[in-house]
Structure 1
Amino acid sequence: MLFLEPDMTRFAASLPLEEAPGTKFNYSSGTANILSELFMDSFNSREEALAYPRLALFGPLGMHSTILETDASGVFVGSSYMYATAREWARLGAFLADDGKLYGRPVLPADYISFMRKPSPESQGRYGSAQVWLQLGGVKAGEDGIPEDAFWMSGHDGQSVMVVPSMHLAVVRLGLTPSRTGYNVQLLNAKIIEALRRER
């Protein structure tokens, strides 16, 4: 889908259901892209939708080189095609760690971060309601030194942004690890948290 389909949303929406909705969890990039089209359709024009991320989020956060690409149909590829420097990803992570506030001013709706972190029941607590992974996945909540409120965004080649609101912390990893063999991002994050706690 990500490399061969000109209209990723249409492709994802055309696939048959494997299970009844609400009965089984399976991560799908297609879901994020369907949500991207719904987001873009909520604007009066496609031009307005294309401009909105930079006006509402990237610009105010100082993410000036960030690019959110579209597919050939003109819809944001929300699952995968956002490119930013490590510092810009860290700005986004810090913004989320600060409950969606910018210089103390709320930018996101009240309780949106809580909504993001609300587990999808079918995921056994591993996946949040807004396309983020929760701490329970891989390393049990609160164990190995990672706080229970941690959540993260995960890229398909091993990139990640971990957000820990209780520590006002964002950890960015942009390394290329497609196979993930011998690599566990939670263990890396746990070591970073351990080092930070020793310094405090």
Structure 2
Amino acid sequence: MKIFKRILLLLAVFILIAVIYNYPKLNMLSGYSAKNTASSVFLSERTLEFTDTTDNNFSPVNLATDKVDLEKQFATSSALGLLTRKAIYRKGLGSVLTLDEIDETAPYLVPKRLKPDNKTPFPYGNAPQKDTVFTNVNYKKLEEAIDYLFEENNQTRAGVVIYKNQIIAERYANGFSKDSRILGWSMTKSITSTLFGILEHQGKINVQNKAPIEAWQNDERKQITIHNLLQMNSGLEWDENYDEISDATKMLFLERDMTQQQIHKPFVGKPNETWNYSSGTTNLLSGILRNQFKTHQEYLDFWYVDLIDKIGMNSMVVEADLDGNYVGSSYGWATPRDWAKLGLLYLHNGNWYGEQLFAKDWVKYATTATPTSNGWYGAQIWLNAGKRYPDAPKNMYSFNGFQGQNVFILPDEELVIVRMGLTKNADLNQFLKEVLNSIN
């Protein structure tokens, strides 16, 4: 009996140690699941069942138990019954994880939105496009390319091919349509970067200036420029790891103000010599944007009035943290067609329906390879200069996000290609090659 009791005691101790060791991980797990559930259900208007069987159905997130309150518009997720996190929905700002009970009733500002243009045909408005048949497009080959993209193992949710402003191929997986908001994850970074191009075109900022961060002014970090931040080449420490507790996961699931975490990191390299992918840097840039305006309301409105709604991305919602900063690194939701509009804005060098939103030179700047990035990265935009996609043009560039979100811009071919998925299983080089082969 004594031996049995000792075994039980040892087992209890081991369990306690395991719980203590893994408790922070459970916090992240339940935080991810609660946030994703709330956004999926209340922002993208999916069901809880659909969300749990698709978006949250991967290890270890599928260990969490999710619940939603449709009337009060919040979601909770419990990790193995040991830790529960809550995410609330705020109309206009999307969903956010709470850190304190007071967060559930705290007042908040919302952005003012421009009215959608439902009369002008796509892409400059939301009315049906004026169909054009291109004699140089082999539509059968194009459909075969789309067929490949939507093979079951590829887990593609949306595919849109736009040629000379015209949708020439479009398909959606079951449960999705042209009106479905899909999370772009890090494609949101390209939205954040574009806003700097717009502010610079308006004469309100110079991205070559030193980053206006007070905490850096008394040490060597004062040499960091906004340009360095846009290129993720500041030399600052950052751990972008989503499989473990890292700087990125702590920022997204534990911070009230996501613009601050990168500020407190030390140098591990030198500006312009140490490329390091960092969502913390992008959210720091969101904070810098906020400080360009006299009021919080002006900051909230700017993203929509000067860019998002200006180009008819009316479905888009960029979610904000508890302090009202847009999470410019990760949390932009929009329909695939609206994501394509951002690509078209770049394809047309910042000109939208006759209005120049950013200077033509901004595209060249944003798509110039960051030193030490091996030709992969520009100013919050991914490049093909390093031939990541060997069968695509070297001057192709893209907005990319977690789990296989992509907007490819091929300037010489006048193409914008959108692929949104649940995984990165699809061989996008093959897909791009087949699309290009369908156009003579």
TM-score, L = length of structure 2: 0.41
Deviations along 1:50-78, one digit per CA (max 9) or x if unpaired, are: 00121111222111110111111211111
Aligned equivalents of 2:263, 2:428: Cα separation in 1: 31
Runs of at least 5 residues in structure 1 that lack an aligned partner in the other structure: none
* Structure 1 residue 172 corresponds to structure 2 residue 421: no
Q: CA deviation at 1:21?
A: 2.3
Q: Which residue of 1 aligns with 2:388?
A: 139
Q: Which residue of 2 aligns with 1:124?
A: 374
Q: CA deviation at 1:117?
A: 0.6
Deviations along 1:3-49, one digit per CA (max 9) or x if unpaired, are: 22222121122223322222221211111111111111111211101
Deviations along 1:120-144, one digit per CA (max 9) or x if unpaired, are: 112122111x20010134526xx41
Count of aligned pairs: 190
Q: Which residue of 1 aligns with 2:435?
A: 192
Runs of at least 5 residues in structure 2 that lack an aligned partner in the other structure: 1-250
Deviations along 1:74-102, one digit per CA (max 9) or x if unpaired, are: 11111111110001001111111111111
Aligned equivalents of 1:36, 1:104: Cα separation in 2: 28
Extract structure 1 runs of 4+ deviating beyond 4 A.
Answer: none
Alignment of 1:6-155 (within 5 A): 6-128=256-378, 130-137=379-386, 139=388, 143-144=390-391, 146-155=392-401
Q: Is the CA contact (8 Å cut-off) linking 1:126 and 1:133 kept in structure 2?
A: yes
Higher relative contact order (CA 8 A, sep 6+): 2
Aligned equivalents of 1:37, 1:190: Cα separation in 2: 39
Q: CA deviation at 1:191?
A: 2.6
Q: Which residue of 1 aligns with 2:29?
A: none
Aligned equivalents of 2:306, 2:296: Cα separation in 1: 16
Q: CA deviation at 1:188?
A: 2.6
* Bigger CA radius of gyration: 2
Q: Is the CA contact (8 Å cut-off) linking 1:154 and 1:160 kept in structure 2?
A: yes
Aligned equivalents of 2:365, 2:394: Cα separation in 1: 15
Aligned equivalents of 2:354, 2:432: Cα separation in 1: 27
- Determine which of 403, 408, 420 is the counterpart of 1:162: 408
TM-score, L = length of structure 1: 0.87
2:421 counterpart SS class: coil
The change in CA–CA distance for 1:164 and 1:11 in structure 2 (over 3 A counts) is same
The change in CA–CA distance for 1:34 and 1:190 in structure 2 (over 3 A counts) is farther
